[in-house]
Amino acid sequence: MSRYVLLLLLFGFDNALAKNYTEPKGETAGLRIVMTNPEAYSVHIAEYDPAVCKKTADVGWLSGGRKTDTVRIGMPGSEAPREGLLERRIPVNRRFAFGAGFIMPKQSIARSLMGAVNPSGASANALAEAHSAFCEAPVFTPLVGQFYELYLHPQPQRCETSLFQLETLPDGSLKRTPVATEHIRFPTAPGKPVCADSGHE
């Protein structure tokens, strides 16, 4: 069985067990996730609890999936729905993390099937070489009423993430201030985070 098919099966099983993310009530912060290359990868976002180093909920498709995410929460600089953008209200005053629960290179169904049928063929090799590493999820403590922006840039064999706090300046422009964070790291199996600071796996 190819790694591509195995990942799809694991993702489907993991999603069947996970609950859907519910936005908190009362005091909240806002988070926008921006993917720099949505044409290249399918990415599904999940919530993780850094305290126990476990996936706690499925958030939605950032890129790929059956439809584009349309949730908007009134964040500054918000754009119309398109692939590669996702906004959610998030809890405040506790450590929190959104990260990639699933990531896979986009390619034609025919090529994917060819790779699954012939794991040693050119299609399977090309798919394996295009695989991104799982994007590390920044762990931070959101503040009441603040807005944050998380950038994901998956690439072959690696993935870059950057977290910023947003501020609207008097002239209406946006100021992005980098936020120093810890990270939850991901090995190859979906839903199996590694929290370096806690020792959980």
pLDDT tens for 124-181 read 555 566 676 678 889 999 999 999 999 999 888 788 899 999 999 999 999 999 999 9
Query: CA dihedral in degrees (93, 99, 101, 104; nearest 10)?
Result: 170
Strands 54-63 and 85-90 turn out to be unpaired
Which residue, 10, 2, 4, is CA-closest to 190?
A: 10
Low-confidence ranges of the chain (pLDDT < 50): 1-13, 15-16, 108-110, 112-115, 188, 198-201
pTM: 0.79
Strands 54-63 and 41-49 turn out to be antiparallel
Distances (CA, A) of 118 to 2, 85, 107, 177: 8, 35, 16, 47
pLDDT at 66: 87
pLDDT at 7: 44
Residue 33 bridge partners (DSSP): 86, 150
pLDDT at 3: 43
Quick check: helix, strand or coil at residue 126? helix
Which residue, 175, 134, 137, is CA-closest to 155?
A: 134
Distances (CA, A) of 178 to 30, 140, 151: 16, 12, 11
pLDDT at 51: 85
